[in-house]
Structures are given as C-alpha cells and as structure tokens.
Amino acid sequence: MKTQYRFTYLALLAVGLMFFGIACDSAGDNEEPLDPMDPPPVETFDRAGMLDNVANNIILPAYAAFQESTDALQAAVAAFAGDPTAATLVPAQDALKATRMAWQEVSMFQFGPAESVALRGVLNTYPTNTTQINDNIVAGSYTLGSIQNIAAGGFPAMDYLLHGEGLTPDEIVAQFTSDADASARVQYLTDNVDFVKSNTDFVVQQWAANGGNYVGTFLSEDNGGTDVGSSLGQLINAVVLHFERFTRDGKIGIPAGVRSAGVPRPKATEAFYAGYSVELAKANLESIGRLFSGVTAAGQDGLGLEDNLDFIEQGALADDIVTTLQESITAIEGLSDPLKAQIDDDVNKVVATFTKMQELVVLLKVDMTSFLGISITYQDTDGD
Amino acid sequence: MPPGLSGDMLQVEGPRGTTVSIPLALDAEAGVKSLTLAVDGGGPTSLSVTTGTMQANYTHSFDIPGATTLGTVFNLVFTLTDEEDAITRVTAMVTTTKSIDTPSTYEFSRNGETSVSYSGQIERLDQLEAIKAYIKTADGGAVVSEQVFLDMFANTGGDGAGNFTFTSTKQLKDKTFVPDLDAQLFEDMFARAAAASVDGNAGVEATNGTAGLIVRENSGNTVLVDENGREFTQFIEKGLMGAVLYNQIYNTYLTDVRIGNDVENFELSEGKNYTAMEHHWDEAFGYWDPPLDFTSPWPSERGSEDRFWSHYSNTVDNVNNGLLGTNSLIMTALKEGRTAIVNNDLAAKDTQRDVLYGAFELVAAGTAVHYINDTIGFLGEGKTGEAFHVLSEAWAFTNALRYSPQRTMDLGELETIMETDFGSDGNFWNATVLGLNTAKSKIVAAFPDLAPVQDDL
C-alpha cells in the first residue's frame, strides 16, 4: 500500500509540473508576436486527421454496413411475408439480429443527420409497447414514428413480432398465417422494415459526400475546433450521452433496476423476445471502445481520442479509459443471455456491471472532456 | 468680438425646450434706429435696443419650443436700421439638437427624477406568475378550480378573489387579444384544465384521446395534458404571454394611438414626470421586463433577472456560441426608441418601432424552433413524456406569432404548423419527426435570421 501511495504522489507531481510547462508556453504564444529568433511554435495535435479517420474510416463504413444489413433484412422479411413458414422465419430472425448488431456500430452517432430524424428513438425505443402494437395491427392504420407509436415500432417491435414471448416457431408462423389478424400483422412487420430502411437510407444519404454531404460539414475547417458547435464537441457529446443513457442505463442499468428503486425490470432489456441483449450491449461497448482508440471495424488503427489524450500528455487517463472499457466489456461478457434470465438468476452481477460502467462515465464525461476542452451540453435535469 | 449685422450667417443650436443665446454686434455709424426680428418668414417684431448708439453688443435669447422635433431649423432674420434708414441684415439659424444621447441602460430621468414607470405591467406579470404557479399544481396531481382561474384572470376583488398574495387594480383579462376573448379561448382552457385535473388527481394516465398525467422521463415529475397530449401549463402560461403580453406590446403600445406623432410628447401627464408618449413606450418595455442593463450575451449567473419574454429571448440569444443576439437587438431598439422620444426624433422612434415588431417575433420564432429541436431530441431518446412537454412549448411559441399586426407568417400557415405539422388533427400523439422538421423549415424560411443557428437552438 505504501508503495502505491508514493507512486500516486509522484504521478501527481509529474502532472503538476507538466501543466506548469504548458501554461508558460501558451502564455508566450498568445502575448508575443512571432520572432525569427523564437523557437518554432508548439506542435499541435492533428485534430483534423483524427476527425477524418473517425468520419471516413469509422462512421461512414459503419453506416454503410448498417444500411446493407437493412437491405438484407428487408429482403428476408419480404421472403417471410410472401410465404410465412418456419423455414423463412429463421432467416428473417437472423437478418434482424444482424441488423441490430450493425446498429450497435452507429447508434452512438446521434448528431447531425441521425439527430435530425431522431433515428435512435424511432428505430430502437424499448421496452416495446405490445398493447400499442396489437392495437395498431387490429386498427390497420397507424403512423410509425409518431409520438404515439415511438415505442411500437422499429427493432423492438420486430423483435416482438418475429419472436413472440415463449412461442415455438410454428406458433410464431401461425400468427402470420392463421391468426385472425395475420395479414395485418404481415403488413405491420413489412411497414416496420420499410420504416427502418427509409430512415436509414435518409441518414446515409445525408452523410454522403455526393448526397447531403454532412461529412463535408463535419470535416470543414469551420467546425474543426473544440467549441460547443464543433464537430469534436458534437461527436463527444453524442457518444458520451449515448454511453451514459443508452449503453450503461438502457442496456444494463435500467433492466437491473437501478432506476426503479432496485426492483429489476427484465422486460426493459433491449432484445427481450429474441434474448440476445447481452450480445448487443457488448457490441455497442466494443464499438465505443474502437471509436475511442481510432480503430476501424476491420481493426485498422488510426488517430482517435486516445491519441489526442496521449499527445497532450494524458496518457495515464487514456490508459485508464482503455482499461476501464476492457473491464466493462469483460463484465458484460460475464453476463449470460438472455439477460432476463441473468437478472432473475443473479441481478447483482448485472448491477456490478453497471457500476463498472459508471466509472467509465466519470472518465469520459468529466476527465476526458476537461482535458480536451470540450463542454458537455446535455443536461440531466429539466429547465422548468 | 461677436459678428456684426453685416450679412453674416450665425449658426446656433440647442435642444428643444431650452433657450439659446444669439450674440450680435450692432454696428451703425449713423446710430442705431431700430432692430427687428423675423422668425421663419413671419412678420417682424421690434427688439428693444438703445437708439443712437454707434456700436453695441446685443444678445438675443431664443426659446426653442418644447414641442419642436429633432433637427428642426429656425431661421431668425435680424434687421438693423440706422438713423439714415440704411439696413443691414443677419440670419441666425437655430438648429434643434438632441436633449440626450442613448444611455447604456434603460434609465431616463427628468429634473433628477426617473421618468420611467411601468408598475401596471409588473403587476400583470405577477398575476401571470401566480396563474402559472396554480396550474402547475395540477401537474403534480392537485385538483384545480375553474373559478379560481377565472378569478385570477379577471382579478376579482383586486386580489384575484383571495388567490393573489398581493392587491392590484389591473387585470389580465381586459388586456387579452380580443378575438381570443370572443372565442373564450382561455376560459375554455381553464374549464378543461380543471376537469382534467380531477382525472389527474385520480391517477389517470394520459393516453391518446384521454386527458391525464404524463411522466417526464428526466425528472420523473408528471405534467397534466389534455386528450391531445397538450400540456395545460404551457398552453395557459405561454398562451397568455402571447395573448396579453405580446398583444399589448404589438396592438396597443407600439401603435400610432399610443406612440404616433400626434401623441403628447411635451407636456407632462398630470402629476407625472413623463410625457404620454414616453410612458406608452415604457409600458411596452414593461411587458418585456428585462434587467435594465440587459445585453447579449447575458451572464448565466444573472439568468434569474429576466422574465417571461425577456427570459426566452435569453434562451435563444446565444446558443452554442452562435449569437442570435435578440437581447441586444431588442434592448438597443427600446433604448434608442425611448431616447428618440425624449429628443422628439419621430423618424428614429418609428424606425425603432419597426425593429421591435420584427425582433419580438424573432424571439417567439426562435424559441419555437428551439423547442422543436428539443422535441426531436427527446424522440431520439425515446422520451415521449419529455416530448409532449417541449412540443407544448413549441406550439405555444408558434401561437405567439399570431398576435402582431405586422406578423411575418400568415394565420393559415401558422394554423397548419400548429394543427397539422405538430400532429395531424391537432393531436400531439400523431406528431412525427417528419412533421416537426416540416414545421421547423417553414419557420426558419420565414425568419432567415434563424437559419445559421437553426440546429443549435
């Protein structure tokens, strides 16, 4: 223990000295005109290069993969809708899972085009409202994406439709064939796929350089700083908010009951009916981890937030984040699917995972942002 | 040596209501016989001079009339006749200048005392605060009474029938936009809120077609909404901000009836330290009720000093460092307009009035877009309770665009936004992101100043 204290003390001292050095440098830069005799200006981090890597090598490929998966989902659901059998059901279920996995790679990019269509909310609000879904099917008239139906559409609704609660494949198929509302249910499923697809296509089109060219806006010099409206500011706000509210809380904490006085809510798991919520959570956290390190889905390492922190001599924080990310992933790996069963079985393990992820919130939201000069603009409370 | 009466042109200036001195050197070798003055081509009047002198200094005092408008020039022609009936003339041009320069804060005085008063407006804003506080109890599940609302609205008995903690001779109802009164818009809302509060009190959860309580996900607090998901607190509070506060600014105090060129702007109102025109302008200011040194950007630690409309101006004033600057825009116009009135600069007063008609609407439009963005944001988080709340705000701020006689968007356009784009059939449960974005683009198109900050708001 004694050694550890000493180490901490030395580390703090080192950080303090380093700050002193930085402060002197920047004061000199600001106040005095450039003189040929002056040492060359302090090298700055290649933020533009980092944003370029994030946009072109991470975000755009992730959206492309997600879009492809929605195409495949549309095809698989069309095959099932045209001939609902156990044989066509499984590919539809698999395609839904593949799409939901691909979604984990883009869901945290809720800014710009995705924000403008409320993508995360309209595609993936859960727990899904089965009463509303069934009412819609019976009514045969509904607007997907309306406030009324925000929890009755998208992936969680398809999760319910294609898996059901405790149904055999034949029983699921029967709902689309012999049930009184079978054809309306087929229609509802198809409408949902089309809805997912049209929203996805819009966002992809808006990002594309040859479309809405949001990538151009994102990489423009105007947005290259660290102020509130900057691309880095938007990216970090979106990702940290997503991690806090949708990865930590939505996927783990809320089902474990941390927002309901410790009373678990197993139905609030992301893939309640299909039962692969843990897998989705793991994928989401891994993609956040890759984004932090600047690593592409294919494993190619480029500039990321980690490099930015390293560059400004915050390697210890960067390491801390990487370690805590890995520990969080390990904690998630220690949970078994279906998450509902895990909660029923041993909810403490789920709560412990939430607690581990909470450490990451502090590191990302407080420490990382302060060193990078980014303001967190989203709030946890209401104005009035 | 002052100029003599040798055909010189004298330039003199002073503010209205003051006396200026015009120094003349009388020079007549044959001796002065008479001196006359003709003002602006009028008949000459004799001035009292010592006759027979060959040289004398003479100072004429000229009173610039108090009702003179800024920049008015008086031509004073002095004619000197000597004993041999030789005539010399000099013209003095008296230009009316400003009495004051624009002050840095909204503070104006006369004879050492403030000339600004808007206590009646403050009393009405206090009444609106009380009404808002009362309807908010229904958000928490309390039963509210239609009669209490009616008494507060009409200020029955001078204390809202005991529902105000203060007394006042003013009321909100008699200042409400007349077509809204004709339609019993607010009375109807009070009755529906009271009825819904009974359901809210019984724990009824709002659903499509049923009024009741909705949980706001962020705070866990509930709000009372009607059968179409519309939050009573927002509709009543922000509704009255439009129907009373903006209506009074737009349709009363900025109109020619109150601040037109014929309104008294010299004689003080009886027993007061202001002219009628000054006071009317101040009353418009009072309905906005900002801190006297309000500006852009406004320090967050002083965020509690603004109120109702000035509060929402500050909400959209400086978003994500994108400066819309409504605080300064409006404050500058109010200060310059009031200064122009003191200076009797009628053209400048009218110019600032036009600025205000645009700027007050910009606040409402910007705030509407702000809440549309919030609604889309909450939908992105799947938070429908929060979405109902902010969509109610968006509706009410869009509604406030109805009240100006110089309204930027026409009533039909506004109706479509409020009753279709914010959810078909006037039902928020039907609201979609597509509709919200449609509404947003319509408002931004009508108010181009919003375009650069539309996504930051």
Tell me if A125 and B382 make a contact (CB, 8 A cut-off). Answer: yes
Q: Confirm if A272 and A333 have CB atoms less than 8 A apart.
A: no
| Residue A20 binned pLDDT confidence (cut-offs 50, 70, 90) | very low
* Degrees, nearest 5: CA angle B387-A287-A190: 55
CB atoms near residue B87 (< 10 Å): 12
For residue A259, the chain B residue with the least C-alpha distance is B220
Q: What pLDDT is stored for residue A382 in this prediction?
A: 45
CA A294 to chain centre: 15
Mean pLDDT, residues B16-42: 91
Q: What pLDDT is stored for residue A14 in this prediction?
A: 41
* pTM score of the predicted model: 0.88
Q: How far apart are CA B154 and CA B167, in angstroms?
A: 13
Q: Which among A146, A229, A245 has the least Cβ separation from residue B431?
A: A146
Q: What pLDDT is stored for residue A40 in this prediction?
A: 59
Q: Confirm if B283 and B247 have CB atoms less than 8 A apart.
A: no
Q: Flag whether pLDDT at A31 surpasses 50.
A: no
Instruction: Among A31-40, A263-272, A331-340, B107-116, name the one with the lowest average pLDDT.
Output: A31-40
Q: Confirm if A264 and A255 have CB atoms less than 8 A apart.
A: yes
Q: Does A375 touch chain B (CB under 8 A)?
A: no
Q: What pLDDT is stored for residue B29 in this prediction?
A: 84
HSE at residue B63, side-chain half, CA atoms within 13 A, is: 4
Q: Which among B208, B389, B433 has the least Cβ separation from residue A122?
A: B433
Q: Does A125 touch chain B (CB under 8 A)?
A: yes
Strand partners for B37: B45, B78
CA-atom Rg of chain B in angstroms: 30
Tell me if A114 and B380 make a contact (CB, 8 A cut-off). Answer: yes
Q: How far apart are CA B361 and CA B406, in angstroms?
A: 10
Tell which residue, B233, B210, B238, B204, has the closest CA to residue B138. B233
Tell me if B381 and A120 make a contact (CB, 8 A cut-off). Answer: yes
Q: Which among B221, B429, B437 has the least Cβ separation from residue A147?
A: B429
Strand partners for B21: B61
In the block, tokens 């080192």 appear at A14
Secondary structure element (H or E) that encloses residue B45, with its range: strand B45-47
Minimal CA separation from B427 to chain A, in Å:
10
Tell me if A122 and B379 make a contact (CB, 8 A cut-off). Answer: yes
Long-range contacts, stretch B90-93, CB < 8 angstroms, 24+ apart: B90/B3, B90/B4, B90/B5, B90/B6, B90/B7, B90/B8, B90/B9, B90/B10, B90/B24, B91/B9, B91/B10, B92/B9, B92/B10, B92/B11, B92/B12, B92/B22, B92/B60, B92/B62, B93/B9, B93/B10, B93/B11, B93/B12
Residue B162 region by backbone torsions, left for phi larger than 0, else alpha for psi between -120 and 50, else beta: left
Percent of chain A scoring above 90 in pLDDT: 84
| Residue A51 binned pLDDT confidence (cut-offs 50, 70, 90) | very high
For residue A229, the chain B residue with the least C-alpha distance is B320
Q: How far apart are CA B156 and CA B129, in angstroms?
A: 16
Q: Does A366 touch chain B (CB under 8 A)?
A: no
3-state SS class at B1 = coil
Minimal CA separation from B320 to chain A, in Å:
5
State chain B's maximal CA–CA distance in angstroms.
106
* pLDDT tens digits along B342-377: 999 999 999 999 999 999 999 999 999 999 999 999
Strand partners for B113: B110
Minimal CA separation from B283 to chain A, in Å:
27
Q: What pLDDT is stored for residue A327 in this prediction?
A: 97
- Give A377's contacts in chain B (Cβ within 8 Å): 320
For residue A198, the chain B residue with the least C-alpha distance is B434
Q: What pLDDT is stored for residue A4 in this prediction?
A: 37
Q: Confirm if B57 and B27 have CB atoms less than 8 A apart.
A: no
* pLDDT tens digits along B406-440: 999 999 999 999 999 999 999 999 999 999 999 99
Tell me if B321 and A151 make a contact (CB, 8 A cut-off). Answer: no
Q: Which among B381, B384, B431 has the least Cβ separation from residue A245?
A: B381
Amino acid at residue number B208: N
Query: Over A8-60, what HEC string results?
Result: HHHHHHHHHHHHHHHHHHHHHHHHCCCCCCCCCCCCCCCHHHHHHHHHHHHHH
Cis peptide before A127 (omega within 30 of 0): yes
Q: How far apart are CA B399 and CA B413, in angstroms?
A: 11
Q: How far apart are CA A151 and CA A133, in angstroms?
A: 9
- Give B383's contacts in chain A (Cβ within 8 Å): 121
Q: Does A122 touch chain B (CB under 8 A)?
A: yes
Mean pLDDT, residues A97-125: 97
| Residue B10 binned pLDDT confidence (cut-offs 50, 70, 90) | confident
Enter the DSSP assignment of A301.
B
Secondary structure element (H or E) that encloses residue B397, with its range: helix B384-399
- Strands B19-27 and B87-97, sheet pairing: unpaired
**SS percent in chain B: helix, strand, coil, step 5:** 50, 20, 35
Minimal CA separation from B385 to chain A, in Å:
9
Q: Confirm if B395 and B411 have CB atoms less than 8 A apart.
A: no
Tell me if A382 and B216 make a contact (CB, 8 A cut-off). Answer: yes
3-state SS class at B183 = coil
Q: Confirm if A162 and A276 have CB atoms less than 8 A apart.
A: no
Q: Confirm if B360 and B250 have CB atoms less than 8 A apart.
A: yes
Tell me if A143 and B430 make a contact (CB, 8 A cut-off). Answer: yes
Tell which residue, A215, A231, A235, has the closest CA to residue A223. A231
Enter the DSSP assignment of B32.
E
Q: What pLDDT is stored for residue A42 in this prediction?
A: 66
HSE at residue B101, side-chain half, CA atoms within 13 A, is: 1
Tell me if B432 and A151 make a contact (CB, 8 A cut-off). Answer: no
Q: Which among A114, A115, A143 has the least Cβ separation from residue B432?
A: A143
Q: Which among B208, B384, B433 has the least Cβ separation from residue A117?
A: B433
Q: Flag whether pLDDT at A16 surpasses 60.
A: no
Mean pLDDT value across chain A: 90
- Give B384's contacts in chain A (Cβ within 8 Å): 147, 150-151
For residue A146, the chain B residue with the least C-alpha distance is B432
Amino acid at residue number A294: G
Q: Flag whether pLDDT at A280 surpasses 50.
A: yes
Q: Does B162 touch chain A (CB under 8 A)?
A: no
Residue B289 region by backbone torsions, left for phi larger than 0, else alpha for psi between -120 and 50, else beta: left
Q: Flag whether pLDDT at A11 surpasses 80.
A: no
* pLDDT tens digits along B30-52: 899 999 999 998 989 999 988 88
Q: Does B439 touch chain A (CB under 8 A)?
A: no
Most B CBs within 10 Å: which of A124, A126, A136, A146, as the mutation test of the B interface?
A146
Q: What pLDDT is stored for residue B55 in this prediction?
A: 86
Number of inter-chain CB pairs under 8 A, A vs B:
86
Q: Does A380 touch chain B (CB under 8 A)?
A: yes
Q: Does A221 touch chain B (CB under 8 A)?
A: no
Q: What pLDDT is stored for residue A36 in this prediction?
A: 56
CB atoms near residue B268 (< 10 Å): 16
Q: What pLDDT is stored for residue A19 in this prediction?
A: 41
Q: How far apart are CA A168 and CA A177, in angstroms?
A: 14
